[in-house]
Amino acid sequence: QVHLAESGGGLVQPGGSLQLSCAASGSIFLIQPMGWYRQAPGKKREMVAVLERDGKVMYADFVKGRFTISRDDNKNTSYLQMNGLQPVDTAVYYCNMFIRLIQSADVLRAFWGQGVQVTVSS
């Protein structure tokens, strides 16, 4: 039905930057909220940022102006620009989208990416 493909993770030094991308493909009618979550070893998955279709955005407190979420609805793609990365940001980052499918546009379904590793270390 729908596949979310993430990219952009990797190893970066403290203070560095990375941009994550998440492209959705499949029988998509409309994408509503797009979000990014992360899960560090031994911890629960937590919200990083969520961007509504109308532009409303919510960031976790720990983002503190360092991360920026954006979306390109023409490409069904979400982006997370991460600046000022610190070792505490090391985690697997997951994208999440709430999507209405072509064959069932009255239903909003949640989809997750496979996760991408972000490691911040010197």
The span from the CA of 52 to the CA of 71, in Å, is 9
What's the pLDDT band for 120 if we cut at 50, 70, 90?
very high
Average pLDDT, the chain: 96
Cβ atoms of 36 and 45 closer than 8 Å: no
Distances (CA, A) of 72 to 1, 6, 59, 63, 94: 20, 14, 18, 21, 18
Q: How crowded is residue 120: how many other Cβ atoms within 10 Å of its Cβ? A: 20
Distances (CA, A) of 62 to 69, 102, 105, 110: 14, 37, 35, 24
Query: What digits encode the pLDDT tens for the residues 50-109?
Result: 999 999 999 999 997 999 999 999 999 999 999 999 999 999 999 999 999 988 888 999
